[in-house]
Amino acid sequence: MLSEFTPTQVAGKRVFLRCDLNVPLDGDRITDDGRIKASLPTINSLLSAGCGIVICAHLGRPKGEVKKELSLAPVANRLSELIGKPVKFITTSIGEVAEKGVLSTAVGEITLLENIRFNPAETSKDENERLALAKELAKGVDFYVGDGFGAVHRKHASVYELAKLLPHASGKLVAAEVQVLQQLMESPKLPYMVVLGGAKVSDKIAVIKNLITRVNRIAIGGGMVFTFLAAKGYSVGKSLLESDSIELVKEILSTAESRGVEVILPTDILGAPTFSDQPALRFPVESIPDEIMGLDIGPDSAKNFANSITSSHTVFWNGPMGVFEFSHFANGTKTIAKALTEVSGLSVVGGGDSAAAIRALGFKDAQFGYVSTGGGASLEYLEGKNLPGLEALNS
């Protein structure tokens, strides 16, 4: 059972807090600070308990190299603004400078270490390398709080090995994420609907196979829908297609039919001759021209999806319905998001691109039942996988 930290456990101590602060940047400008805001309840609770906080996080995939454009410096500035107090930023994560910064973090103070993925040992496949890094990170701290849900599916040094070296507990965010996902897996109120989008069907095959035994409806949109349409014998023009997944999709459709699970596919799509933000052309799915690339579900499909969503009591959504960054192809995603705000039961936005989409389209997190911070971690949990970060916190 996942245990959240208590004030008694951390009072007067120096706490190592693993967060997920992997925010999108445009230069030095943070374009979506949702993950920083999601970490605030844990940070504020630790401060109230009377401890010093050393925050560790990653940004992007620097692959063990120091890359200025992936520095956490802008995150330190934004966190300071949101928390209303200074955040000391250390320009490295281990070594003499980092250790000195950690040891100088007093009760009530916050220190943020530089991008942990600048160190190749963080993501190394060599357990000994990860353990050596974890031992360096453990210097000067007394307690570990795991709150970076977006990284719990990774067996990384700061997520897995370090948690096992120190007394540990989960943060408020991780505890909340797990509680919601457990509800989706173990006790969803019916009808239960899953809406899946995004580019690749291969990324979602495992979660579909695991959820198909639990749900009443599955709606498919995004780039992945064209593999489903191809599996039903339709031509998809220049749309994204994973030919090697067609047989797997046929198996899924067959399993769904045998179990009485409704699979909802678009009846119309919006497309264009090229991948660009240009006026959309609309076609029935059975007659997509060879020169057309599908870029969104059509308005009839969006309305049909929305009606199914609002008549469900539990809805999990992961993946945009189209290229929402293009104004002409954002309607499908926007319609699905609006429908989720109207669900009478639990509506869960499954992190990643879906969470970014709702904010970019003008929705607020509070309009939904729950907005996850970890797309990949959420999907792997729903696949039924053991997540290393949760395993370490449970040990």
Catalytic sites, residue numbers: 35, 200, 352, 376
Cβ 242 vs Cβ 205: under 8 Å = no
Cβ 117 vs Cβ 62: under 8 Å = yes
Vertex 85: Cα angle to 83 and 89 (nearest 5): 95
CA–CA distance, 347 with 371 (Å, rounded to integer): 9
Token pair in block for residue 45: 């609770």
What is the SS3 assignment for 183-246? Answer: HHHHCCCCCEEEEECCCCHHHCHHHHHHHCCCCCEEEECCCCHHHHHHHCCCCCCCCCCCHHHH
Following DSSP, what letter does each residue of 275-314 receive, concatenated? SSS---EEEEGGG--TT-EEEEE-HHHHHHHHHHHHT-SE
CA–CA distance, 212 with 235 (Å, rounded to integer): 26
Enclosing H/E stretch for 347: strand 346-349
Question: Measuring CA to CA, how many Å separate 220 from each of 11, 198, 223, 299?
Answer: 48, 9, 9, 15
Token pair in block for residue 334: 């926007």
* Residue count of the chain: 395
What SS3 state is found at 325?
coil
The distance between the two most distant Cα atoms of the chain, rounded to a whole number of Å, is 67
CA–CA distance, 141 with 137 (Å, rounded to integer): 8
Cβ 22 vs Cβ 35: under 8 Å = yes
CA–CA distance, 53 with 295 (Å, rounded to integer): 45
- Whole-angstrom distance between the N-terminal and C-terminal Cα of the chain? 9
- Which among 301, 360, 365 has a CA at the least distance from the CA of 336? 301
Enclosing H/E stretch for 322: none
Cβ 94 vs Cβ 133: under 8 Å = yes
Q: Which residues contact 233 (CB under 8 A, 6 or more apart)?
A: none
